[in-house]
Structure formats: C-alpha cells, structure tokens
Amino acid sequence: MALPLSLCFLLIVSLRAAAAVPPPRYLDGFLANGNFERSPKPWNLKKTVIAGKRALPGWEIDGLVEYVSGGPQPGGFFFAIPRGSHAVRLGNEASISQKLVLRPGAAYTLTFGTTRTCAQDEVLRVSAGRYSADLPVQTLYSSNGGDTYGWAFIAPSRVVKVTFHNPGVQEDPTCGPLLDAIAIKQLLPVKRTPGNLVKNGGFETGPHVFKNFSTGVLLPPHRQDRVSPLPGWIIESMKPVKYVDSKHFHVPSGLAAVELVAGRESAIAQIIPTVANRLYSLSFTVGDAKNGCHGTMMVEAFAARETIKVRHESVGKGVFKTASLRFRAISNRTRITFYSGFYHANIRDYGHFCGPVLDDVRAVPLTR
C-alpha cells in the first residue's frame, strides 16, 4: 500500500536529519566542568553542601555532596587539591553523574583524581552504562592527594550516563571520597607491529594523563576491569600498576611506560600467539622513573616454563637496562607476565609508593 505524500515527506526529512547528525568527536580531555572550577551559585550552597539536583554546573547530584576548596578544613582536616582550587566530596550514598555522547561499541577510559578523606575503608563506585567497579581508596599511593585512577568501559549506546558514587555509610555523613578532576579518552584499537608479537609493548596507548599535575595513573587490577585501561594488557595483580608519561616522569623511550608500584601485588600480563615447540625471545627494558625511587629493584618475567629475574640498583637518576628471556612455547598461546620483586617508597617521602619501570616489551620468534 502506498504511503501518503505527507508521511513520505516526514520520513525523508527524518532520514536527512539523522544523516546530518555528526558522529561523536574523538574525546581526550576533561568532562564538562570536570575540574569543578565552575562553582554552584551562592544560593545553592549551605556552607559547603550543594543544594539542588542540578546546582553543580555540568553535573547531576544525588544525596549529600559538598563543594570544597583546598587547604585546612573545619575539624582539623586538610584537603589537598593539587590540580586546581576546588573539588567535590561524596557523603554517605551520594553520587554525581553526567551524560556523555559517545561512539557505541568504542572503548573509553575515565581518568579521575580521588582520595579518601576520613575512614580507612572508603570505596568509590564508578559506572558507565552496564559497566561498574568498586575501587577501594583506602591505600594512598601518594601523600600529596595526587592519586589518580584510570578505568575503562565499552560505550553500549550513543548516550551514556557516567556516575561516581560513594556506596559507604559512615558515622559522619559527610565523610567520603574526594574527586578533584575527571577526564575521558577514547581508546583506539591496538595492533601488533611488524617484528613484535606483543601488542602495545611500548605502552604508547593508554588513559588520559592530566597535563598540569600528574603522579601517574593507577590502573586497577583485572578483577575490577572488564575492559583494560591499558589496551593489550591485563592488570592481574591484587594492587594496581601505574601508567607514567614522559612529561612528568623519565621513561626509557616514547611517550609512556608502566611503573610497578606495589611489589609482588603489582603485575601485568599479555597472551601472545605462538607456535608450540618453537623458540622465542622476550626482551624488555627495566629502570627507574627518576622520581626519588632508590634501592635494589627487581622485575621478574615469565614466559611458558621460563623465568628471569632482572635486578636494577636505582639511585633515582633514570637509568635503564635491557634484558631478554629465551623460551620455548608449549602451546599456541603463551602468557607473558611481569611483576616487581620488592616494595619501594620515595626516599624523601615514605608515603609515596614507587617501583621499577617497565617499557619496550618485545617478543620475536627465533630461527633456531
């Protein structure tokens, strides 16, 4: 049956309008008011508590959310806000959320600065669409409030609601994690380069790094990640590893590397394609990030049935060495794993965890 002319016209207009909508742009930067420097109106603030669901520009809030400034606080607290002047604190069961226009099926990382403010057992729940994770923030990896986390997800639709939530209930209802900066980056697919079976072996593809201040980006363990914030790699330890960039750290080569900041609780792995019974060489670079991390460092590497322990005596000058491991594949897929043998802290600040830096991971087949 033929459609009426009016209905045909509306259908054509709708199709043209849909075709005219540009695809979401490539994202790599702050969310809207992601640094919280745009404040609520004075009449939407009761001391530090935000009153009104949409009173915080760019965000929708639920529950007791405070808008705070850096420095000394009532009750003897001190809020370090290294990336700016303001932040938000999530009280009992409180949350902030924002809707983003994304590319369906694309991978994204959220990079956010967060720290606990009261209790030792504070948790930050981050969610995007059907993806979510509870990140324990009781361990402080830097003593200056600079802890930054990276968390990844796949966009399930064009419009995705991103939420940061405090699921805890403390005796003081205002207690909860502090958020001082939130950014997003689209993760492009990584491929193996010619002559290397390892994807992203130089760690050049990773989460957004804040430009004005960075202590590195902590990447949570695999149990918290359905999608890795470090493409190609699995964070399979109990504690996070740290993504460090060349602007703020000394790295062996390229734009970035990985720092193993939690000893044997800090490990990364990747499964590479191999041919059973064939010989391979696994090479990698080990050193320090020139960030005050001193002492005897050791990175242990595993491939098939072989292992190697690489020692590095660090004096904090950014010195590196290259090591290699020869192994025989026992199947068509081989897991390569790296972890730190020791625990380390900054020589000038024992509240700042650090460790050996790993970079330039390569795996190649041997001719004989």
Q: Which runs of consecutive H residues, i.e. helices, occur in the chain?
A: 5-20
Average pLDDT over residues 167-183: 88
Retrieve residue 239's tokens: 């504690």
Between residues 320 and 121, which one has the greater pLDDT?
320
Q: How confident is the model at residue 1 (pLDDT cuts 50, 70, 90)?
A: very low
Q: How confident is the model at residue 13 (pLDDT cuts 50, 70, 90)?
A: very low
Q: Is 362 in contact with 306 (CB distance < 8 Å)?
A: no
Q: What percentage of residues in the chain have a pLDDT greater than 70?
A: 89
**Is residue 18 scored above 50 in pLDDT?**
no
pLDDT of residue 121: 79
Q: Which of 72-86, 123-137, 163-177, 257-271 has the lowest mean pLDDT?
A: 72-86
Between residues 222 and 200, which one has the greater pLDDT?
200
**Can you list the domains of the chain with their CATH numbers?**
28-187 (2.60.120.260), 217-365 (2.60.120.260)
Average pLDDT over residues 239-248: 93
pLDDT of residue 349: 65
**Is residue 20 scored above 60 in pLDDT?**
no
Average pLDDT over residues 299-314: 94
Q: How confident is the model at residue 368 (pLDDT cuts 50, 70, 90)?
A: low
Q: Whose structure tokens read 């324990």? A: 136
Mean pLDDT of the chain: 88
Chain centroid to CA 89: 20
Average pLDDT over residues 74-98: 84
Average pLDDT over residues 236-261: 92
pLDDT of residue 15: 45
pLDDT per residue as tens digits for the range 157-173: 999 999 999 998 888 88
pLDDT per residue as tens digits for the range 118-161: 867 789 999 998 899 998 888 888 877 778 999 999 999 999 99
Between residues 195 and 138, which one has the greater pLDDT?
195
Phi, psi dihedrals of residue 263, rounded to the nearest 5°: 55, -140
Q: How confident is the model at residue 291 (pLDDT cuts 50, 70, 90)?
A: confident
Give the residues across from 308 on adjacent strands.
Answer: 301
Give the residues across from 283 on adjacent strands.
Answer: 324, 362
